[in-house]
Amino acid sequence: MHKLKNLLIFIFLFGFSATILGLTVRGLPGNPTQDTLNQDIWKDDGPFELSPERGRFALLYSVVENKSLEFSIPLARFTAPDLGYSKGKYVSIFAPGVSFSVIPGYIIGKMFGLSQVGTFAMTSLFALLNFWLIKNIATRVGAHPIAAIIAGLTFLFATPAFPYAVSLYQHHISTFMILLAVYTIMRSQSLWAIAFVWFLIAASVPIDNPNIIFMIPIAIYSLLQFFIVKKNVKGWEINMRLLGVFTFIAGVIPIVLFMWFNLASHGDPLRFSGTLPSVKAIDAAGKPAVPEQVTKTENRERYLNPETQQKPASGFFKTRNILNGFYVHFVSRDRGILYYTPIMLIAFLGLFAHDKKYNSYKALLVGIIGFNILLYSLWGDPWGGWAFASRYLIPSYAVLSIFLAIFMTKYIRRFIVLAPLLILFAYSVSVNTLGAITTNRLPPEGEAKALSLVSGRVEKFSYDRNIEMLQANKSKSYIYQAYINKYMSAWEYYVLLVSTIVGFSSIFFVYLYLSQRRGKNHAKV
């Protein structure tokens, strides 16, 4: 009976979360072709507002419809300015894993005349799986089951994970790989489990190349499982599970497939797509061209002959960037956690509320957060281009949500803790719902100021830009555009969504508060 109750609760939660994501997933009706994709209705004014989305969809389209890894001229125009170039042909500059992972959504969506919506909905599916993994990992490290549910809801709707769950980015798929690897080794340290972890580590690289860095703590933890430490009368005894060496074989298939893609795409199996020369513009003849905004004094040769560009992978990361990177990710108004999801700052307190018996798991989880934040603070573009909040830290938001569950389990019995948590949760939901139903296209502060000189008006660079869009009665939600806009304004739709999410989640906050207080009172008796 208890298992049935838990199953029904999970189905209810899954259904609620899927409904909210369904109401916010971005898109337009129709099956766009490689020619119509270049219309503004699909690009700047539509769901493909930024080049990461265009580049990944272009590769998907080219593989499914053109049976080619090389881009046609229309697809190349659609993808620029983040377009790869190799040996006279246009190719993807993004890791291929996302494009291949969402193909089922494209095919199913196409059957209903919604190929783009179906593609974006696949990201939402991975977001839902991340909710499930966060809930289960949190309970395994000692969090109350209701606190674990709140943690999943917080990640899904109160962090920048929300606007990136309804568009086409790599972050939720990367987070899924990381969380699934963590959940696997928490459930079992058998050699089969470790082999599956090596498979996930290898498979995460084609999703997004930096994933290999975030997986380092998981790899170290898995390697330690090869050794069995026992204490006997003579002292400590260490034995090695020699068969563990064979678990590495599980990682061969993803790596081989990735190398094959690189070879077929740009002729070098060991070269990441992101290091390829890039094309910013294409002329009428289909050749690389100089973008209009480039000044006459700038080196134009690098645009006309892209293969003269040098882009070593190590050049993207520099120690001199680290202080600015921390500032951007945590406190800057255009990307900082302080402005976009302050409830995550409370989650850091969960690091100190952790039960000591879970110390090994704590080290694993903290390692993932640390590598994620450090890497993207070294990154030359910590803003993530034009983006909503700090999108690079989505894996950290997921892990921090687990620590938030631990913090709530220990301290939420005090009203002085419950009240601020509810306020911060409501605020964080309100901000990130803005991004979900409008746009991720926010310029960094520096670019916004430069743009103001051109446009002659003050260009917003934080979520107030999203508010402007709502006030203009604009939303990129497919459901809103197709069905709801006749009955309510975009602002009313936003208020309805925020009220529903906060109201629904508050039930769990209050239930946890009352149950923990009741447990404390019983303990006193």
Residue 525 pLDDT class (50, 70, 90 cuts): very low
Is residue 524 over pLDDT 60?
Answer: no
What pLDDT is attached to residue 521? 46
Residue 238 pLDDT class (50, 70, 90 cuts): low
Greatest mean pLDDT among 7-11, 85-89, 292-296, 326-330 lies in 326-330
Is residue 72 over pLDDT 80?
Answer: yes
Contact of 505 with 418, CB cutoff 8 Å: no
Domain extent listing, the chain: 2-280+314-524
What pLDDT is attached to residue 444? 94
Q: How are beta strands 235-240 and 227-232 bridged, if at all?
A: antiparallel
What pLDDT is attached to residue 314? 59
Tell me the mean pLDDT in the region 370-387.
93
Write down the pTM of the prediction: 0.94
Is residue 399 over pLDDT 60?
Answer: yes
What pLDDT is attached to residue 295? 59
CA-CA distance, 125 to 172, in Å (whole number)?
9
In the beta sheet, which residues pair with residue 240? 227
Residue 523 pLDDT class (50, 70, 90 cuts): very low
Helices (H), 44-165: 51-65, 73-79, 97-101, 103-111, 115-140, 145-157
Greatest mean pLDDT among 95-109, 295-309, 340-354 lies in 95-109
What pLDDT is attached to residue 522? 37
Tell me the mean pLDDT in the region 167-184.
97
Which residue type, as a one-letter code, is found at position 321? N
Tell me the mean pLDDT in the region 177-201.
95
477-511 pLDDT tens trace: 999 999 999 999 999 999 999 999 999 999 999 99
* Range of lowest pLDDT (63-67, 101-105, 266-270, 358-362): 358-362
Contact of 170 with 391, CB cutoff 8 Å: no
